[in-house]
Amino acid sequence: MVHEAKKAVGPVPVQGIGKQIEHRMFGSVKNLVRILLLGLLGLFSVGLTGPTPASGQVAEDICSWSVRVGSARLSAACLDARRFLWISAEQPAAPPEQKRIKSLPTRLYSTYRSAYAVDRNDGSLWSGRGGAVSATSGVFMTLGPVRLAIEPQISWSENRAFSLPDTTVIGLSRFADPWVFAAVDHYLRPGSGSRFRIDPGSSFVEVEGAQGRLGVSNERLWWGPARRYPLLFSGTAPGFWHAYVEAGPNLKTPVGRFHAQLLWGRLDESKWFDADPGNDHRLLGAFQVAWSSDFVPGLEVAYSVVRHEPLPRGDFRLGQLGQLFTGDGASEDPMHVGVPMGSLGLRFAYPDEGFEAYAEIGRGDYLLVPEPGVSDGRHSLIYIMGFSRTVARASGNAWRITGEVLKQSLELPQPGPDPATPPRTFVAQGHTNQGQVLGAYVGPGSNAQYVTLDHLGEGFSWGVFAERVRRNDDTYFRTHAYDYGFRGHDLEWTLGARLGAAPKLAWIGSAAFSAEFGASRRKNRSFVGLEHGENRVFLREWNLWGEFLVRLDRAGR
């Protein structure tokens, strides 16, 4: 069945949809109430237990506002501590100044999915159906103020076949997501057959000074306080080459400490989107200013902006660099009009007490909400809210509870475009790089909730978690809600467990092992089989999965 890429959505009848609207509105309120209650419970527990002993288990669990994901970055260790449960492991020490060349840790990461693909926070690796494995290692060199890291990523994916929607869009690959109206380069599967890839990974070169640094990098970025669903940058998509300049992160002023960064880079289209060679590349500009208060302990505020600029036929114009700050000029060439998105974040972080609460709200016009001319900008707010509470014991063990809520979809079915309103420009590929999302791994227009309970030990840690994800709700309201009400959502429930160990092996140095596994139950994946109300037998699937990581560091001997 061929789908009309720019099909407008007409008026939505009240009958059948009234319950859907009520369900969505009250559902959002319930999610907010749940996370607020969990956060208040965590904050209340701080008062009950009093300050906990300061330890690496607590302090290293609260990341900086922006992290460059790579083994050469000490700040990236906290992301490992959150995800892989080796907080108590001995973290790699900073490279000694007198040591100009240092080997980077070797990381072997593998995934398995029994029924369908779930790709998250793994860079150029594609975690498709079947097995997948990646390896990274390299060297880190210093020469005075110059720092160089070479850390490529090699990956292989079995990429076994699974059912895809029979709806297609004229001009797009059959592997492209057909439900985002040709507005996001988000493939459902990267072609057929196994996939082998060599990627520059977390390689970079930079010059570091007393109050900042500048350089060129292919590192993945993680922006914001989120522990699972970052709004703007996560580690899901491959890194992209970009030039950057940073000030801070502890630039002291009379009103507090600042960290500012600015970057420009090039994003690439995947092979499984459209057949137009003239739009294969885009310019991305981003800046962030983070402020932490000295007179309100633990308070951090950050403002972030990301802007996509089209490069038709590779035509770059110097003035596009300034559009990140000035916006679109009235006389700008229509072929070079960019698309902005941004967020404002707030966090209270108390490492000594093991408590963190945060919220980030942003606008996702035409990137996370990809239907130009249809989406009502007043409803395009996206947000993340979460908290974490760690209670450390004198024995060295600790308990940690974490909760997070993500909202990236419109709250109500949207009307058709207003003929009197001129269409606004959008970037066809959306907020992606090489077919994978740059933001939260659940994808555009999705909502999610996540809670986990971890026990953190000296040499062994374990945890259990639950997750609920409703994917691509924007598409569902535009296309399927009329026929299916609240029954046809792409909904997934996941229960899982994770383990982490950090043994001391004299013959290796520093070692860490992690495993995360679980079972997911998903209904109406990618809306397979939903055909305008004609089919009432919904697709239901079990997906058994596992993720495994081994980290070896001889430099830690």
Q: What is the pLDDT of residues 436-459, one digit of tens each?
A: 999 999 988 889 999 999 998 877
More confident position, 512 or 151:
151
Question: Which residues, 6 or more positions from 422, have their beta carbon under 8 angstroms from its beta carbon?
Answer: none
Q: Is the pLDDT of residue 222 over 60?
A: yes
Q: State the pLDDT at residue 520.
A: 98
In 3D, which of 48, 93, 201 has the Cα closest to residue 137? Answer: 201
CB 128 within 8 A of CB 113: yes
3-class DSSP state for residue 335?
helix
DSSP string, 18-75: HHHHHHHHHHHHHHHHHHHHHHHHHHHHHHHH-PPPP-HHHHTTS--SEEEESTT-GG
Q: What is the pLDDT of residues 261-302, one digit of tens each?
A: 999 999 999 999 888 888 889 899 999 999 998 788 889 999
Give the 3-state secondary structure of 434-492.
CCEECCCCCCCCCEEEEEEEEEECCCEEEEEEEEEEEECHHHHHHHHHHHHCCCCCEEE
Q: Running DSSP on this structure, what letter comes out for residue 555?
A: G
Greatest Cα-to-Cα distance within the chain, rounded to the nearest angstrom: 73
Instruction: Provide the pLDDT confidence category of residue 460 given band limits of 50, 70 and 90.
Output: confident
3-class DSSP state for residue 412?
coil
Q: What is the pLDDT of residues 105-143, one digit of tens each?
A: 999 999 999 999 999 989 999 999 999 999 999 999 999
Q: State the pLDDT at residue 360.
A: 94
Determine which of 27-31, 74-78, 84-88, 312-316 has the lowest per-residue pLDDT on average.
Answer: 27-31
DSSP string, 256-294: EEEEEEEEEEEEE--TTSBS-GGGSEEEEEEEEEEEE-S
Q: What is the pLDDT of residues 320-365, one digit of tens each?
A: 787 777 765 554 555 556 677 889 999 999 888 889 999 999 876 5
Distance CA 314, CA 333 (A): 15
Helices then strands, each counted (H, E), the chain: 6, 27
**Number of residues in the chain:** 557
Q: For 401, how many CA atoms within 13 A lie in the half-sphere containing its CB?
A: 10
Record the pTM: 0.85
In 3D, which of 102, 62, 222 has the Cα closest to residue 510? Answer: 102
Percent of the chain, pLDDT > 90? 44
- For the segment 482-499, the average pLDDT, to the nearest whole number, is 91
Distance CA 453, CA 461 (A): 11
Domains of the chain, CATH where assigned: 2-325+333-556 (2.40.160.130)
Question: Highest mean pLDDT: which of 14-23, 196-205, 328-337, 411-420?
Answer: 196-205
351 cis-preceded (ω within 30 degrees of 0): no
